[in-house]
Amino acid sequence: MTSVIEVRFKGNRREYFTWSEDSSSLRLETPVIVEVERGQDFGVVSAVGGIAEKKCQRCGACNGDSGPGVRDSGTAELPAPSPQPLRHIVRIATPDDRKIAADLRIHEDDVRRTVRDRVRQHNLPMKVSDAEWQWDKRKLTIYFTAEQRVDFRALVRDLAGLFRTRIELRQIGARDEAKRLDGIGRCGRQLCIASWLPEGRPVSLSLAKAQGLSLNPVQISGPCGRLLCCLHYEHDFYVQQRKRFPKEGKTIQTAEGNARVVSVDIFRERVTLRADDGATRVVALEQLRL
């Protein structure tokens, strides 16, 4: 029976493949060699069974190795390829395969520095974030960020002559860069976008306002310089919890007379009230309901 397997590559990149043999032979963190657009690549199993199938359905891409937004020969973006069937896992990686992959990871730092030097020589307004060799060295992918469109055709020719392989320059956003490079957020934990969040959705200041947070972007931004991803996925929780509390600014009737709601604390389930004489007091939500 053919199974769907999620495979993780460098930079938290994940893709889905089929495995026609016994699925029990593949466990989490099993290194594998997979079929890609132009040869073979090395990855690690990150999900199997029903979990992998659900994640694959949620992904809904199946657009091959490149995916939309890849540019490798000029300024024009290539159109997203039409849906394609999932590629296959070729085999479980051998110790020699793993050694090749480890050596490539070590040399990629030197590749990145070399590419940065060439970018400066070509005077291009782009920041090189990462470099990733395909396991069989048939392709070298350079990830970069830029504030505007970049004409890097001369750079591609230069790098192709230098590394003697196919060069793919892939422009990514600030959140995608944080996902690839990983890091620690202001909460002291691993970045959500690099650990479990499937994708980085746009976040607006209105979400911070709805959660009663400071509207200073410096205080509510992550290492990537964009507003925190948690503002988006935690928003529904705040909306649901606030329905249990009276609205701030509203005048309500209590056992001690009318009072205006100054603030609410949804975590401690407390409400701060101000009476007509200016006195303030904190009341538990349960007592307020009584």
pLDDT band at 1, cuts 50/70/90? low
pLDDT band at 69, cuts 50/70/90? very low
Half-sphere exposure of 50 (CA within 13 A, CB side): 0
Same domain membership, residue 133 and residue 52: yes
More confident residue, 144 or 58: 144
Mean pLDDT of the chain: 88
Same domain membership, residue 226 and residue 142: no
Residue where a domain stops, chosen among 145, 172, 199: 172
Centroid of chain to Cα 159: 28
pLDDT band at 113, cuts 50/70/90? very high
CB 192 within 8 A of CB 229: yes
Same domain membership, residue 283 and residue 213: no
Specify the pLDDT at position 290: 52
Same domain membership, residue 226 and residue 165: no
Specify the pLDDT at position 83: 55
pLDDT band at 75, cuts 50/70/90? very low
Same domain membership, residue 160 and residue 18: yes
Mean pLDDT of the region 110-125: 96
Structural domains in the chain (count): 3
Same domain membership, residue 139 and residue 263: no
Q: What stretches of 27-126 adopt beta strand conformation (E)?
A: 31-36, 39-47, 87-92
Which tens digits make up the pLDDT trace of 119-169?
A: 999 999 999 999 999 999 999 999 999 999 999 999 999 999 999 999 999
Same domain membership, residue 233 and residue 264: no
271: CATH: 2.30.30.140
Query: What percent of the chain is modeled with pLDDT above 90?
Result: 65
Amino acid identity of 161? Answer: G
Specify the pLDDT at position 23: 74
CA distance 25 to 220: 45
Please tell me whether the overall predicted TM-score, pTM, comes out greater than 0.75 for this model: yes
pLDDT band at 62, cuts 50/70/90? low
Same domain membership, residue 140 and residue 22: yes
Same domain membership, residue 216 and residue 111: no
Residue 71 pLDDT > 60, yes or no?
A: no
CB 270 within 8 A of CB 284: yes
Residue where a domain stops, chosen among 172, 198, 219: 172
Same domain membership, residue 182 and residue 282: no
Same domain membership, residue 144 and residue 276: no
Name the percent of the chain in helix, strand, coil, to the closest 5.
Answer: 30, 30, 40
Mean pLDDT of the region 45-50: 92
Same domain membership, residue 198 and residue 146: no
CB 202 within 8 A of CB 183: no
CB 90 within 8 A of CB 40: yes
Q: At what angle do helices 153-163 and 95-121 cross, to 10 degrees?
A: 140
Residue where a domain stops, chosen among 241, 259, 276: 241
| Full residue range of the structural domain in which residue 251 is found | 246-289
Mean pLDDT of the region 8-19: 93
55-59, 68-72, 227-231: the lowest-pLDDT one: 68-72
pLDDT band at 57, cuts 50/70/90? confident
Query: What percent of the chain is modeled with pLDDT above 70?
Result: 90
